[in-house]
Amino acid sequence: MKFIEYFYVQILKYLNCSNIQLYPNIIMDNENVNGIVEEKSFDSNIMEESQIRHRTPWSDRISLNSDIPGLHEVKELLEEDDTSCLAEEEDGVGCPLPSTPEDDRLLDCEMTEVLKAGVLSDEIDLGALAHNAAEQAEEFVRKVWEASWKQCHFRNLPKWLQDNDFLHAGHRPPLPSFYACFKSIFRIHTETGNIWTHLLGCVAFIGIAIYFLTQTHMDMKWEEKLVIGTFFLGAIICLGMSFAFHTVHCHSECVGKLFSKLDYCGIAMLIMGSFVPWLYYGFYCDYQPKLIYLSVVVVLGITSIVVSLWERFGEPKYRPLRAGVFMGFGLSGVIPAVHYAVAEGWFKAISQASLGWLILMGCLYILGAMFYALRVPERFFPGKFDIWFQSHQIFHVLVIAAAFVHYHGITEMAMHRISIGDCAVPSQMMAF
């Protein structure tokens, strides 16, 4: 392997591949890199007819390393009769290895023989070798660039990454590698706060869901755990999709659009998941309105998801529309809340149905949506909130706070239902 790597490096340097000017006095013609090099000797007349053009004659080329011969030296090198190293066989390509374990002598011997057998003949496809070297050089440059990317200004971003023009500096450039995107979560940029707020929130809700649903001392029926599990699932999907979007949306335009759609679908899932437990416990014994409201919520949720999949829904100019769609979906919960309060009384609605927590949750969601749509505070102080305390981060924090408030409210409703038992008239269970 050591010899192969050494030989490969030498060939790359001789060919001056991958558009990297290893030798400053040589210019490769890009159109002829993949051409067939027909030179079979180093005769000066043949070199003039080669498909590769040079700024200076080959004979004037200066090697970068004294240990690596220039091409004008190869002929002399190959004509040397080193009997201690080379001994031609019948096929003209023999090279008995020296009996001593001297690595440098072995490498020189094998390098010379391979150059004689391959480079000066048609046995090695120089065009394919150049193409392969160019690809590897391009991959190497890409990896080096990804490892050393720097924050850039908003005006230097491609159009598909320009979302909030009030955030001036600290943006990530396009990172066409998922590894580089996920690695960037440990660096400071405009998306750092957005990533970590919902990443930590997602992990927190996963832990809470496991703890709550695996408790054995709670006398909960399986359908009650399923209903509350719907809320946990919606919260985890929403926060997880948001974290993923803010992490990889700089990968490429198509990846950014895909994950933005998943992000919006996650918001719709959270709203649906939040409705289900409250409607289940709020209308626990009123099956007909419960079924109607749950059906309406599902229809509105599916409609929101369909709208979220619209190709232009994620464009910056439709930011108010996005906020309006999800805000309207959330505010639709006012209708069943008022229905319950009128039917059961406001005191019971607040004490037993956690209506107070539901109202607080709605206020937090609405406030967050307003921060998001109006882009406050960076709208009034452009360039001052590029990294921290920007509107999207405030929106994320308020979403997590609202989700925890709702979790507290539905657990209170669940505990109240366990304490008072089932419906007073069991026959109502089959009423609708």
Helix extents (H) in 49-191: 71-79, 103-114, 126-147, 178-183
Contact 257, 311 (CB under 8 A): yes
- Chain-centroid distance, C-alpha 150: 17
Q: Which of 369, 371, 399, 365 is CA-nearest to residue 385?
A: 371
Distance CA 314, CA 382 (A): 22
246 is in an annotated binding site: yes
DSSP labels for 300-346?
Answer: HHHHHHHHHTSTTTTSGGGHHHHHHHHHHHHHTTHHHHHHHHHHH-H
Q: Give SS3 for 152.
A: strand
Bridge partners of 45, per DSSP, are: none
Instruction: For residue 171, report the phi and psi dihedrals to the nearest 5 degrees.
Output: -85, 150
What's the DSSP call for residue 429?
G
Contact 55, 27 (CB under 8 A): yes
Q: Hunting for tokens 């008239």 — which residue is that? A: 425
217 is in an annotated binding site: no
CA 304, 250, 323 angle in degrees (round to 5)? Answer: 25
171 is in an annotated binding site: no
Residues contributing to the annotated binding site: 246, 392, 396
Q: Which residues belong to the annotated binding site for Zn(2+)?
A: 246, 392, 396
